């Protein structure tokens, strides 16, 4: 395949190595730049090492993506897509919708619809075509998410449905919904890397944007409204590397992808992704 694309043999090599060997590779003179998709901790480490070596980096890190639903939205579609956006890859996706902001006028209706949608999800073997939710990546993930949910409830939030580990073989976690999360709770802004929807009732788009931006993350965002003014306001004011109107956040090779704030910097994919690792050379011929 490398030859068909015009690349020489060895241009692309996959190294199956442990984290302890990464620094040595980053410091090798043959490595001119680095890009990482991973956690904040891993991103900070790579950026620090490459900074010492004066090598450019592109970091795509965590996210706590907002999913805003206003009264003018296609409610049925928003619920269907929202359920998928929250539970894709069992909720273990950096661009999965995690915090849902629903206008008070449609909150009760949307809440009941999401409950039914979550109840209909089939949990089981991820190799089966009819399975919606498979296991989490490991035991630590189950423990971490369980603690996050428990802490949110201690802070005053209410568990609407699920959001608990499933006993038995495998690292399964029941998809759930939490609402009434107080501002003092970490769950108000943090990332829960699993199938748990954080549901917020808002009285306006301004309130939704204010809470959405009250997070150290800024990767993707999804806004559901047919009101053109609301669309423009959301696009301009939401702090995220991407805003999708009436569709879920997705990574597309035709579009630049990346975040702001603690979600990283730089852009992957598309022309911007290529240019991120190109050096502009000035040539002057007298």
Active-site pick, 94, 179, 230, 239? 94
Q: Same structural domain for residues 3 and 70? A: no
**Active-site option among 60, 190, 230, 268:** 60
211, 268: one domain: no
Q: How many residues does the chain have?
A: 286
The answer to whether residues 87 and 140 belong to one domain is yes
Angle at 144 between CA 82 and CA 132, to 5 degrees: 35
b/e per residue, 92-131, with b = 16+ CB within 10 A? bbbbbbbbbbbbeebbeebbebbeebbeeeebeeeeeeee
Residues 138 and 126 in one domain: yes
Task: Report the alpha-carbon distance of residue 85 to residue 222 in Å, rounded.
Answer: 10
Asked if 69 and 156 sit in the same domain, the reply is: yes
Would you call 94 a catalytic residue per the annotation?
yes
Residue 50 is a catalytic residue: no
| Same-domain check for residues 191 and 72 | yes
Asked if 263 and 198 sit in the same domain, the reply is no
Domain count, the chain: 2
Residues 234 and 154 in one domain: yes
Name the residue range of residue 216's domain: 65-245
Q: Please write the tens of the pLDDT for every residue from 176-217.
A: 999 999 999 999 999 999 999 999 999 999 999 999 999 999
- Please tell me the number of Cα atoms within 13 Å of 161 on its side-chain side: 17
**Are 201 and 165 members of one domain?**
yes
- pLDDT tens, N- to C-terminus, the chain (286 residues): 556 778 888 888 889 998 899 999 999 999 999 999 998 999 999 999 999 999 999 999 999 999 999 999 999 999 999 999 999 999 999 999 999 999 999 999 999 999 999 999 999 999 999 999 999 999 999 999 999 999 999 999 999 999 999 998 999 999 999 999 999 999 999 999 999 999 999 999 999 999 999 999 999 999 999 999 999 999 999 999 999 999 999 999 999 999 999 999 999 999 999 999 899 999 999 9
Q: Do 202 and 75 reside in the same domain of the chain? A: yes
Record the pTM: 0.93
Can you give the CATH number for the domain in which 143 is found?
3.40.309.10
Q: Are residues 129 and 188 in the same domain?
A: yes
Give the integer Cα–Cα distance in Å for 259 and 262. 8
Q: Are residues 219 and 79 in the same domain?
A: yes
What does the block give as tokens for 84?
């998928």
């Amino acid at each position: 395949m490398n030859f068909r694309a015009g690349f020489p043999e060895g241009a692309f090599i996959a190294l199956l190595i442990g984290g302890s060997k990464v620094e040595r590779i980053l410091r090798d003179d043959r490595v001119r730049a680095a890009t990482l998709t991973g956690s904040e901790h891993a991103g900070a480490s790579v950026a620090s090492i490459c900074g010492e070596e004066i090598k450019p980096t592109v970091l795509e890190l965590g996210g706590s993506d907002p999913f805003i639903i206003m009264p003018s939205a296609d409610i049925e579609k928003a619920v269907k897509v929202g359920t998928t956006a929250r539970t894709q890859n069992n909720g273990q996706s950096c661009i999965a919708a995690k915090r849902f902001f629903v206008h008070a006028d449609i909150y009760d209706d949307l809440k009941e619809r999401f409950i039914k949608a979550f109840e209909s999800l089939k949990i089981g073997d991820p190799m089966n075509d009819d399975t919606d939710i498979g296991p989490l990546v490991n035991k630590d993930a189950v423990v971490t998410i369980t603690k996050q949910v428990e802490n949110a409830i201690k802070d005053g939030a209410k568990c609407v449905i699920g959001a608990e580990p499933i006993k038995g073989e495998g690292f399964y976690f029941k998809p759930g919904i939490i609402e009434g999360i107080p501002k003092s709770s970490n769950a108000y802004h943090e990332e829960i890397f699993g199938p748990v929807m954080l549901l917020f009732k808002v009285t306006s788009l301004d309130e939704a944007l204010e809470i959405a931006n009250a997070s150290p993350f800024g990767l993707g965002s999804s806004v559901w409204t047919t009101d053109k003014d609301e669309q423009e306001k959301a696009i301009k004011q939401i702090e995220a590397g991407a805003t999708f109107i009436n569709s879920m956040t997705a990574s597309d090779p035709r579009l630049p992808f990346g975040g702001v704030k603690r979600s990283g910097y730089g852009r992957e994919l598309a022309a911007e992704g290529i240019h991120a690792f190109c050096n502009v050379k000035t040539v002057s011929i007298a």
